[in-house]
Amino acid sequence: MPAVTMTVNGVSRSADVEGRTLLVDFLREQLALTGTHVGCDTSQCGACVVHMNGQSVKSCTCLAVDADGADVTTIEGLANGADLHPMQEAFREHHGLQCGFCTPGMVMSAIDLVNRNPSPSEGEVRHWLDGNFCRCTGYHNIVKAVMAGADAMGGGS
């Protein structure tokens, strides 16, 4: 089995994986980072979004071996102790989550948007979130949260 080494939430992690192991399964099953979720099998829903080298990726759509040597951040790596990341705080403040299942992917995706586009318009937020499904919120408060989070991030993380 191939060995992989990657930095996950600031900590170097090494493990043997099967060649076919998806990054999301590596994170959830081998590293017990269960904040990253799996909501579909066609790369549509975005519940599995993490950052790889600072950019959002759907971790159900890349192999663990693809992340060898990469710097991976998951939802567990965002907060600084009890201090939430500004985007997490914005989701809390604006009720941008209900059941919480899509939330990690939404937050990770939203941060990448703001890194690329510090002051997105509402239309740009809605367009960017095309790859993140939510069945609970109707997106109304998610969009509000992302725009507020963008403001709070001061244009980038």
Partner 1 sequence: MSDNGSNGTGFIGASLKRKEDARFLTGRGRYTDDINLPGQLYAHLLRSTVAHANLGSVDTSAAEAAPGVHAVFTGPDMEGVGGVPTGWLIHSKDGSPMVEPAHPAMAIGKVRHVGEIVAIVVAETRDQAREAAALIDVDYQDLPAVASLEAARADGAPLVWDEADGNLCYDWEVGDRAAAEAAIDGAAHTVSIDVVNQRLVPNAIEPRAAIGNFDPTTGEYTLYTTSQNPHLIRLLLGAFVLGLPEHKLRIVAPDVGGGFGSKIPHYAEEAILTWTAGQLARPVKWTSDRSEAFVSDTQGRDHISTATLGLDEDGKFVGLKVSTQANLGAYLSTFATCVPTYLYGILFAGPYTTPAIYCEVEGVFTNTVPVDALRGAGRPEATYLLERLVDKAAAATGIDRVDIRRRNFIREFPYQTPVALQYDQGDYDATLDLALEASDWDGFEARRNEAAGRGKLRGIGISTFIEACGIAPSAVVGSLGARAGLYEVGSVRVHPTGSVSVFTGTHSHGQGHETTFAQIVAETLGVDFEAVDVVHGDTNAIPFGMGTYGSRSLAVGGTAIYNAVQKVIAKGKKIAAHLLEASEEDIEFADGNFTVAGTDRSKSIGEVALTAYVPHNYPEGLEPGLEETAFYDPLNFTFPAGTHVAEVEVDPETGEVELVAVTGADDVGRIINPMIVNGQLHGGLAHGIGQALLEHCEYDDEGQLVTGSYMNYTMPRAGDLPNFNINHNTTHCTHNPLGVKGVGEVGSIGVPPAVINAVVDALSPLGVTHIEMPATSQRVWQAIQAAQAQD
Structure tokens of 75?
A: 């939802």
Binding to partner 1 by residue 132, rule CB under 8 A?
yes
> For strand 71-73 and strand 55-58, is the pairing parallel, antiparallel, or unpaired?
unpaired
Question: Minimum Å distance from CB 41 to partner 1?
Answer: 5
Distance CA 141, CA 157 (A): 21
Q: List the beta strands (DSSP E) in the chain.
A: 3-8, 11-16, 49-52, 55-58, 71-73
Tell me the per-residue interface mask from 2 to 41 with partner 1, x by CB under 8 A, - otherwise: ----------------x-x-------x----xxxxxxxxx
Which residues, at least 6 apart from 98, have a Cβ–Cβ distance to it below 8 Å? 136, 137
Q: Are 68 and 131 in contact (CB under 8 A)?
A: no
> Judged by CB under 8 A, does residue 117 bind partner 1?
no
Q: Shortest gap between Cβ of 47 and partner 1 (angstroms)?
A: 6
95 binding partner 1? (CB under 8 A): yes
Of the candidate residues 30, 44, 115, 117, the single one contacting partner 1 (CB under 8 A): 44
- Name the residue among 99, 67, 73 with its Cα closest to residue 87: 73
Length of the chain: 157
Cβ 94 to partner 1, closest distance in Å?
9
Is position 56 an interface residue for partner 1 (rule: CB under 8 A)? no
Binding residues for partner 1 (CB under 8 A): 18, 20, 28, 33-42, 44-45, 47, 74-76, 78-79, 84, 88, 91-93, 95, 97-104, 107, 122, 125-127, 129-130, 132-143
